[in-house]
Amino acid sequence: MASKQILNYKVHTLTGETSSETSITLNVKEVNPKYLLHRAVVIQNNNARQGTSSCKTRSEVRGGGKKPWKQKGTGNARAGSSNSPLWKGGGVAFGPKPRSYSKKINNKEWRLALNTAIQKSFDKTIVVEDFTGQIDTPKTKKIAEVLNKIVNITDTSQRTLIILSDINNNVKLSLRNLSNITVLHSNTLNVKDILLAHKILVTDKALKNIQEVYSEN
């Protein structure tokens, strides 16, 4: 059962002061939301798998065309081919083959899971004024100085998710040296990164975009 919820956020300046307030309205799942979130994360993990692991069967390994020794008289166990899974260098009996692990989830269900994840992450979400225009050169030190006034992004034990409506090359290059930082465009959010983050930093423009893209259900 989904219901509409209004989330009210304070918008902070880059100095950490509150400049205004904003809100978004999302359809969220109230009854047993953990099942929906778990299902979304499992499907996301499955769809990310390459599924390329492969072993050769006894028909694919090299050699083994000739009978190793005659059937009787040698004292050895009878053998018809050195490709047998019992032999060293032989084929694998029930090894993996390339396959697809992907699972389907309806768009409506995926959007509901995203909305619920955003709502559950309300307490760890900080909304800031858009800062991408101030990063004119790809410098990690510079962007760290800007964002550290709001949230400590240099603490490697804390995962920080940054959601932007415009990811320019300077911002991308500046943040890629920080292993605990994940940057997502507001159009391409996913449930797993939202739930794993200890802190979520979202710009006011990105929040409006989230309202436009994900609010309808």
All structural domains of the chain: 2-49+102-214 (3.40.1370.10), 51-100 (no CATH)
Predicted pLDDT at 95? 95
Give CA–CA dist 158/152, Å, rounded.
9
- Among residues 43, 29, 9, 3, the alpha carbon closest in space to that of 129 is found at 9
Q: Which residue has the higher pLDDT, 103 or 215?
A: 103
pLDDT band at 1 (very low <50, low <70, confident <90, very high): low
Residue 23 token pair: 């809100």
What is the distance between the alpha carbons of residues 83 and 86, in angstroms, rounded to a whole number? 8
Q: What is the mean pLDDT of the chain?
A: 90
Residue 144's pLDDT is 85
Q: In this model, does residue 217 exceed pLDDT 70?
A: no
Q: Is the pLDDT of residue 81 over 70?
A: yes
Task: Report whether pLDDT(23) > 70.
Answer: yes
Coil vs helix vs strand at 135: coil
Phi, then psi, of 160 in degrees rounded to 5: -120, 125
Query: Which band of pLDDT confidence, cut at 50, 70 and 90, is reported for residue 104?
Result: very high
Neighbours of 94 (CB within 10 A): 8
DSSP H stretches of helix in 126-190: 140-147, 169-175
Q: What pLDDT digit, counting tens, does each position of 129-143 carry?
A: 988 777 778 888 888
- d(CA 201, CA 180) in angstroms, rounded, equals 13
- Tokens encoding 113: 């899971």
Range in 122-126, 158-162, 166-170 with the lowest mean pLDDT: 166-170
Give residue 216's pLDDT band: very low, low, confident or very high (50, 70, 90).
Answer: low
> What is the percentage of the chain residues whose pLDDT exceeds 70?
99
Label residue 17 by pLDDT band (50, 70, 90): confident
pLDDT at 194 over 80: yes
Q: What would the pLDDT profile of 30-63 be if each residue is shown by its tens digit?
A: 888 999 999 999 999 999 999 999 999 999 999 9
DSSP run (H or E) holding 154:
none
